[in-house]
Amino acid sequence: MGAKNIYRNLDEQVRNSAKEEFDGFYERCIAYLDLWENSFGNAEQFSWVNLTKTNTVDWENAETCAEIINSSLLDVPDMKINNYQLFDVVLAKEYLQSNWEQWKQEETTRDVIISNEEKWLRQFDHFKENHIATPNLIKIVEYAFCLPGTSAPVERVFSLMSNAWTDDRGLMKESTVKGLMTCKINIGLACEDFYNKIKIKKRLSKKSHSQ
């Protein structure tokens, strides 16, 4: 009730401004949830990366995946894939076809199953040893293997955010919360170790002080 009374007693202009902020926050939350719900709707298009058959690696499949990546990572220019330069896919298909039977024999002889990751690593090692560039193919494979199998990682993010963005710290800006979450999730260091690490990086320290 206290918050409602404070809101009612605000100047009309301030009240309208606050309402816009509140509405904007919830709209962004809803938009994010909608985006998350549909973000992996095209995941089945990457099934060929599992290498279940020799004919799954082809230009058409790679081109479809490249279009998906380009449209979903507009703000990550380094991941941009040129659809007209997917020639490395042809090389991968040739390598796969020439080694498929050998892998099958190896699995039978050693009584093991060669994982998809291992097959791709062998391909990329082969290309690297022979000085063959595969910039587009490796981006597609990396993207495919980064797709989460469950929602557990995202649920963990929400849990961490709830712990950080408490009622006592409710005035933190979204950018601050984003920074905290980025550090918490991507940097596996204790607070003291993280502080000591960035303390010696003068440019990073200077930039953080200017924010």
Residues 27, 23: Cα–Cα separation, whole Å? 6
Q: What is the pLDDT of residue 16?
A: 82
Highest mean pLDDT among 31-45, 94-108, 191-205: 94-108
Q: Name residues whose C-beta falls within 8 Å of residue 123's C-beta, 6 or more positions apart in sequence.
A: 92, 95, 96
Question: For the chain, what is the domain count?
Answer: 3
Q: pTM for this structure? A: 0.57
The two three-digit tokens of residue 98, written as one number: 């020439």
Q: What is the pLDDT of residue 129?
A: 92
Give yes or no: residues 35 and 49 share one domain: no
For 66, list phi and psi in degrees, rounded to 5. -60, -40
Q: What is the pLDDT of residue 122?
A: 92
Neighbour count for residue 57 (Cβ, 10 Å): 22
Give yes or no: residues 60 and 139 share one domain: yes
**What mean pLDDT is reported for the chain?**
80
Q: Domain range holding 179?
A: 150-210
Burial class (CB in 10 A: 0-12, 13-18, 19+), 49: buried
Give yes or no: residues 103 and 140 share one domain: yes
DSSP 159: H
Give yes or no: residues 33 and 57 share one domain: no
Angle, to 10 degrees, between the axis of helix 135-146 and the axis of helix 59-72? 70
The two three-digit tokens of residue 43, written as one number: 């995941």
Question: Per-residue pLDDT for 125 more than 90?
Answer: yes
Q: What is the pLDDT of residue 165?
A: 81
DSSP 165: S
Contact 181, 161 (CB under 8 A): yes
Give yes or no: residues 7 and 35 share one domain: yes
Instruction: Please name the amino acid found at residue 16.
Output: N
pLDDT tens by residue, 90-114:
888 888 888 888 998 998 888 888 8
Q: What is the pLDDT of residue 207?
A: 64
pLDDT tens by residue, 1-12:
566 777 677 778
